[in-house]
Chains A and B, each alone.
Chain A
Amino acid sequence: MNIEQLLLAKKYAVAFLNTFEKTIDFNAYQAIEKMYNFFNSNPQTLVVLAAPTLELETKSQLIEKIVHYYQAPNELMKLVSLLIKQQRLLLLPSILLQLTRVYRERNQLVAFTFYGSHELAEHETRMLSQFLEQKINKNILYNSVIDKELIAGIRLKSDTWLWEYSVEKQLRAIENSLH
């Protein structure tokens, strides 16, 4: 995606959030994020959406099913209709991504991924979340992932922040100091 498309997607996202600010709550945000993850992990869906032989009505119905499946706000269908009308349906995944970002910005939220060398318990992730909230003074959204490459340790990563303490990091530091 080039920078122009990115800016355009952000414009759509900002306009959508300005219009439906009251209806987009945290649950809606989570649903939108899930929808984005769906499009991101199933790029073939985009190929279907891009197919010129497929009728616009069918495309719209397909997206509506996804919206309902993820319990995303129905207002999204208005955005989809607009994109279909303006022949910019392929921008939808990017707009969904920008929606999550703009929502987080407006609500002082930062999405982190907690990488652990083993599966982190609920109380551990909560404690890490508190730790980050203290550090960056923002509310933390997180998901937890196992990363064996850490060997032993934890990595807390967002779009703009990174905190890590692991054996792998120490090895990297040694490697960098030797070069």
Chain B
Amino acid sequence: MLSNGISVFFRYLNFISFIGVVLYFFYKKSVPKIRQHIEEKKSLEHIQHNNYEQLIQKEYILKQQLKDQEDSYNILLDKVRQWQDAVEKDQKKILQEYETIARANKQKVAIQEKNQSQKRLEMSVIPRALADARLQLSNAFSIDENEKEYVHVLLNQIQKSIQ
């Protein structure tokens, strides 16, 4: 009975010793490694955190730059629009001036053509018409009665005016 109790005791002792040896080796061999690993992880995390911070900073700068560029783009776009408006106005003005000049030229040409045709008329048709009229009237009044009647009517009018 006793021996059985001792045996159990030793058994427990062995077990505890074994556990102690295992724990000892575990403590001696694994813990530093785990600590190193944890520290490495911490260091990595710190680096990553720093990188993250830097990235956030960069992102902020990029966003700011983007905003600046966007502002510049908008200003430039406004200027381009203003310039485009000015150019369109200028073009419109030039077009209007061109149209005015073209209209004036057209009128001038029309007047010149009219004058030329009038001149042609004066040079050819009118003298001929007047010569014909003069000839016909001369023929009509070459009849003595017609001519005398004309003068007689005229003299009667003068006679009335002096009475």
Contact = CB atoms under 8 A, between A and B. Distances in A.
A152 B150 contact: yes
Given A117-B151, A151-B141, A179 B122 contact: yes
Nearest to B131: A171
A152 B142 CA distance: 9
B34 interface: no
A53 B123 CA distance: 56
Interface in A33-53: none
Interface residues of B, number: 20
A80 B138 CA distance: 49
Interface in B141-163: 141, 144, 146-148, 150-151, 154-155, 158-159, 161-162
Contacts of A117: 141, 147, 150-151
A152 B162 contact: no
Q: Is the interface of A mostly helix, strand, loop or mixed?
A: helix
B77 interface: no
Query: Which label, helix, strand, loop or mixed, suits the secondary structure of the B interface?
Result: helix
Contact of A165 (B130, B146, B154): B154
B141 A127 contact: no
Given A124-B155, A127-B159, A179-B122, A118 B137 contact: no
Given A118-B148, A152-B137, A153-B151, 18 more contacts: A116-B151, A117-B141, A117-B150, A118-B144, A127-B158, A127-B159, A127-B162, A131-B161, A151-B147, A152-B147, A153-B150, A153-B154, A154-B154, A154-B155, A171-B137, A174-B130, A175-B130, A178-B122
Interface of A: 116-118, 124, 127-128, 130-131, 134, 151-154, 165, 167, 171, 174-175, 178-179
Interface of B: 122, 126, 130, 133-134, 137-138, 141, 144, 146-148, 150-151, 154-155, 158-159, 161-162
17 contacts: A117-B150, A118-B144, A127-B158, A127-B159, A127-B162, A130-B162, A131-B158, A134-B162, A152-B150, A152-B151, A154-B155, A165-B154, A167-B141, A171-B134, A174-B130, A174-B133, A175-B130
